[in-house]
Amino acid sequence: MSEELKRDFEIGEEIGRGRFGVVHRCASRSTGEAYAVKSVDRSRLSDDLDRSLAALEPKLARLAAAGNPGVVQVHAVYEDDDWTHTVMDLCTRPDILDWVRLRCGKPVPEPDATAVVAQIAEALALCHRRGVAHRDVKPDNVLLDATGDGPPRVRLADFGSAAWVGDGISAEGARGDSRTTSRPRWSPGASTGRRPTCGARGWSCTCSSPAARSRSAARRPPTCSPPSCGAT
């Protein structure tokens, strides 16, 4: 781990792990404020595409977050020969996947679902105007501030699959563009041959299941385990 990072931040416990790296809680040594730091060991990435995505992630995440309240904010980036460390907001609220599961099979009220999808679209529109395509919008990459009685506030996280798309794109221009959708093996439309759309993303996020599946796939309502139900 970078000595400069450890000089500026006290590193705490691991709070997450993903395809590229590991996330720890950390605290600023000067202010005591809590953050999260995502650490990626680039030397362990053998795939050229993964190395490229790992190198771009902190730059694109910072660009997308600038002036965009719908994106997790990046506060500092530390790099050395092998590691990249991105210090960002510490988000302790649930993601959409947890939010839907904790409803124990009950549908999300339409006004709340509408508000969430509208916020996702607004956050993505600002990203696109800055030339950044997220490409991995899914329930567990959308964090919520679900305090209070109104609809939760949305913040997009994890730009590990993001791409630079030049001078920006519109939502209409992004439809079906290979630069702005998930890699083929991740795309919900891959099994049906259909192009992904904004509507499909909204359905996936609020229903916790793809909008389109192969014909052989059974359709089931969202379910949750008894412990999750008990937690509510």
Instruction: Using alpha carbons, select from 49, 135, 142 the residue that is nearest to residue 91.
Output: 142
Closest CA to 116 of 149, 142, 137, 148: 142
Q: How far does the chain reach from its first CA to its final CA, in angstroms?
A: 39
Q: Which of 136, 140, 158, 177 is catalytic?
A: 136
Q: For residue 70, what are the contacts with CB-CB under 8 A and spacing of at least 6? A: 119, 120, 122, 123, 126, 154, 155, 156
Burial of 104 (0-12, 13-18, 19+ CB in 10 A): middle
- Does 38 count as an annotated binding residue? yes
From the list 184, 47, 201, the residue with the least C-alpha distance to 137 is 201
Query: Is 136 among the residues known to form the active site?
Result: yes
Report CA-CA distances (Å) from 65 to 43, 71, 88, 179.
27, 5, 10, 20
At residue 13, the 3 state secondary structure works out as strand
Six-digit token pair at 227?
């412990």
List, by residue number, the catalytic residues. 136
Could you tell me which residues are annotated as the binding site for ATP?
38
Could you tell me which residues are annotated as the binding site?
38
